[in-house]
Amino acid sequence: MTQRPRLSVIGTGYLGATHAVCMVELGYDVIGLDVDEAKIESLRAGKIPFFEPGLPELLGKHIDSGRLRFTTDYAEVAEFADVHFVCVGTPQKKGQYAADLTYVDAAFRSLAAHLTRRALVVGKSTVPAGTAARLAKLLADEAPNKEVELAWNPEFLREGFAVEDTLRPDRLVFGVRSEWAEQTIRTAFEPVIATGTPVIVTDYATAELVKVAANSFLATKISFINAMAEVCEATGADVTQLADAIGHDARIGRRFLNAGLGFGGGCLPKDIRAFIARAGELGVDQAVSFLRDVDEINLRRRARTVELGLDLLDGSYRGTKVAVLGAAFKPDSDDVRDSPALDVAAAVGRRGATVQVYDPEANASAARVHPELTYAASLDDALRGVDLVMLLTEWQVFRAMDPVTVGSLVAQRNLVDGRNVLVPSQWRDAGWHYRALGRP
Ligand SMILES: NC(=O)c1ccc[n+]([C@@H]2O[C@H](COP(=O)([O-])OP(=O)(O)OC[C@H]3O[C@@H](n4cnc5c(N)ncnc54)[C@H](O)[C@@H]3O)[C@@H](O)[C@H]2O)c1
Ligand SMILES: O=c1ccn([C@@H]2O[C@H](COP(=O)(O)OP(=O)(O)O[C@H]3O[C@H](CO)[C@@H](O)[C@H](O)[C@H]3O)[C@@H](O)[C@H]2O)c(=O)[nH]1
């Protein structure tokens, strides 16, 4: 194998497309594969099929370089690459907590069938502990070349910061079973390692667990502060001041202590549920039973947000007009998977309000999931004539709103700040009825 291995990336969604483009930026030759032909067509045309800051510019920079191509053909990928990164989805199974591994299994089977030369297959998808060992056996059984090996390399990027997190990660985790696998995966991250990024080499189970443990910790931190928000509401205390005060303790830290509508997205919610399910199978359900509370606290915030709006509208949404600001699960993303904002918008709609949703990037993806809601073309359009404004995803454009200007557009000055990002006194001074989660 040459010093610089040739790479494939299988599954070009939020994770895979980012990984493929960033690895070209780092100097590798890369081929990306997806079973979704529309996605591959879009990438070939130099267009990222989702919103991620900085990624379109990087794709544009490299698309005509000859070092990045896209295909739907597994034979082409197996022929081209020395190291294959598997980045397909592992969503929550319908009606269950467990992860649906059918996409991972299908990707490994399709790739294995074509692996006639030595290669390292690297799992990046988030999977339940024990999956890598099973997939290593699958490769051993099904790949024609018996020197094919598996490594597990969990991914920690955040949407909205995906490029930065891929080029400059906090750490790299390599779950391997041989010296060759470790050396090979090191060559695939050589420029990242050269900048001093910490590398932790583990067995498969530890690598898999690092990922779900990290997400469980983050989810717990958010639900902890949201639990404090519930107590603040009962006592008249202010959770944002409380978070600032405890966050100054370096052992606690202020990051991920933003109370509000809680966590959503394609990772935290489904990863803690899959962890609960897997722990049950392993007979250690008690060890992670607290994650059920984490999940419940999180979902209660959505219900409470609907209630706050109800209070402002004197007990009924029926016949009212509501502006919902934000549909994505977080700012700087168009991802609406398990979006708290969209969940609340739909709940308010079901209670009889006419809901005008506006998100700077996620209107289209939201409309696919909730076509019954109305989507405004601009912030002003969303605000015009409404009885209640609900700020549910903290895009900068919403944080920067002026209470007087917004006040001139609405029918009634009622506001729910679902992310605790506005200054209450500014809005109250401008005649608004302001309500927030965990703040008086
Ligand atoms: N999105 C993130 O920020 C992030 C970060 C870290 C880890 N992860 C993990 O990475 C994985 C992927 O997440 P995502 O958000 O990119 O999902 P995604 O749904 O955006 O992308 C998954 C892609 O896999 C493709 N795919 C499905 N079956 C395939 C097959 N058999 N062969 C080839 N391609 C196939 C789909 O068409 C899709 O494009 C998940 O396990 C997730 O938990 C995601
Ligand atoms: O103080 C906070 C911080 C975040 N959130 C919410 O938590 C969710 C998740 O946010 P974030 O973690 O920034 O976004 P993701 O892109 O989902 O990233 C998480 O999930 C990824 C997929 O597993 C991991 O790779 C990342 O490390 C992990 O942060 C969002 O709904 C945020 O609004 C809060 O409510 N309060």
Quickly tell me which residue has 């202020």 as its tokens.
254
Whether residue 374 sits in one domain with residue 228: no
Mean pLDDT of 77-90: 98
Take atom 25 of ligand 2 and give the residue whose Cα is closest: 156
Look at residue 99 and tell me if it is in a domain: yes
Whether residue 223 sits in one domain with residue 171: no
Which of these, 386, 369, 374, lies nearest to 313 by C-alpha position?
386
- Residues in the chain, overall count: 440
Residue at a domain's end among 294, 311, 339? 294
Look at residue 1 and tell me if it is in a domain: no
Provide the pLDDT confidence category of residue 39 given band limits of 50, 70 and 90: very high
Whether residue 256 sits in one domain with residue 148: no
Which of these, 41, 7, 26, lies nearest to 163 by C-alpha position?
26
Whether residue 225 sits in one domain with residue 123: no
Domain that holds residue 306: 297-436
Mean pLDDT of the chain: 97
Look at residue 314 and tell me if it is in a domain: yes
Residue at a domain's end among 262, 294, 326? 294
Ligand 2 centroid, distance to 328 Cα (angstroms): 12
Take atom 5 of ligand 2 and give the residue whose Cα is closest: 263
Which of these, 360, 376, 400, 265, lies nearest to 322 by C-alpha position?
376
Would you state the pLDDT for residue 413? 98
> Is ligand 2 within 6 A of the CB of residue 158?
yes
CA 54, CA 132: separation in Å to the nearest integer?
A: 32
User: Which ligand ends up closest to the CA of 258?
Assistant: 2
Whether residue 52 sits in one domain with residue 31: yes
CA 358, CA 412: separation in Å to the nearest integer?
A: 18
Whether residue 362 sits in one domain with residue 338: yes
Whether residue 236 sits in one domain with residue 171: no
User: Which ligand ends up closest to the CA of 38?
Assistant: 1
* Exposure string for 175-193, b = 16+ CB within 10 A, e = fewer: bbbeeebbebbbbbbeebe
Q: Which atom of ligand 2 is nearest to the CA of 331?
A: 33
Residue at a domain's end among 294, 323, 347? 294
Whether residue 126 sits in one domain with residue 27: yes
CA 85, CA 16: separation in Å to the nearest integer?
A: 8
Which of these, 54, 31, 23, lies nearest to 190 by C-alpha position?
23
> Is ligand 2 within 6 A of the CB of residue 326?
no
Question: Residue 287's domain is classified under what CATH number?
Answer: 1.10.1040.10
> Is ligand 2 within 6 A of the CB of residue 161?
no
Question: Residue 114's domain is classified under what CATH number?
Answer: 3.40.50.720
Would you state the pLDDT for residue 3? 74
Look at residue 371 and tell me if it is in a domain: yes
* pLDDT(153) > 60: yes
> Is ligand 1 within 6 A of the CB of residue 260?
no
Would you state the pLDDT for residue 300? 98
For 312-325, how does the pLDDT look when each residue is reduced to its tens digit (9 = 90+)? 999 999 999 999 99
For 247-286, how does the pLDDT look when each residue is reduced to its tens digit (9 = 90+)? 999 999 999 999 999 999 999 999 999 999 999 999 999 9
In a 3-state reduction of DSSP, which class is residue 390?
strand
Look at residue 253 and tell me if it is in a domain: yes
Contact present, 358 and 375 (Cβ < 8 Å) = yes
* pLDDT(172) > 60: yes
**How many domains is the chain built from?**
3
Supply the angle between the helices 290-312 and 340-350 in degrees, to the nearest 10. Answer: 50
> Is ligand 2 within 6 A of the CB of residue 126?
yes
Look at residue 397 and tell me if it is in a domain: yes
For 287-342, how does the pLDDT look when each residue is reduced to its tens digit (9 = 90+)? 999 999 999 999 999 999 999 999 999 999 999 999 999 999 999 999 999 999 99
Distance of CA 4 to the CA centre of its chain: 30
* pLDDT(2) > 80: no
Enumerate the β-bridge partners of residue 356.
323, 374
Ligand 1 centroid, distance to 373 Cα (angstroms): 27
> Is ligand 2 within 6 A of the CB of residue 254?
no
User: Amino acid letter at 337?
Assistant: R
Would you state the pLDDT for residue 1? 45
The first and second tokens of residue 3, run together, are 């010093």
Whether residue 329 sits in one domain with residue 289: no
For 389-440, how does the pLDDT look when each residue is reduced to its tens digit (9 = 90+)? 999 999 999 999 999 999 999 999 999 999 999 999 999 999 999 999 999 9
> Is ligand 1 within 6 A of the CB of residue 103?
yes
Ligand 2 centroid, distance to 319 Cα (angstroms): 35
CA 87, CA 167: separation in Å to the nearest integer?
A: 17
Asked about 232 being catalytic, the answer comes back as no
Whether residue 289 sits in one domain with residue 236: yes
> In this prediction, what percent of the chain has a pLDDT beyond 90?
99
Mean pLDDT of 2-11: 90
Whether residue 282 sits in one domain with residue 397: no
Using a 10 angstrom Cβ sphere, with 0-12 exposed, 13-18 middle and 19 or more buried, the burial of residue 217 is exposed
Look at residue 207 and tell me if it is in a domain: no
Residues 6+ away with beta carbon under 8 Å from 321: 353, 354, 356, 385, 386, 387, 388, 411
Whether residue 289 sits in one domain with residue 217: yes
Look at residue 2 and tell me if it is in a domain: no
For 348-384, how does the pLDDT look when each residue is reduced to its tens digit (9 = 90+)? 999 999 999 999 999 999 999 999 999 999 999 999 9
Take atom 10 of ligand 2 and give the residue whose Cα is closest: 263
Residues 6+ away with beta carbon under 8 Å from 122: 83, 84, 85, 86, 150, 151, 152, 153, 185, 188
In a 3-state reduction of DSSP, which class is residue 422?
coil
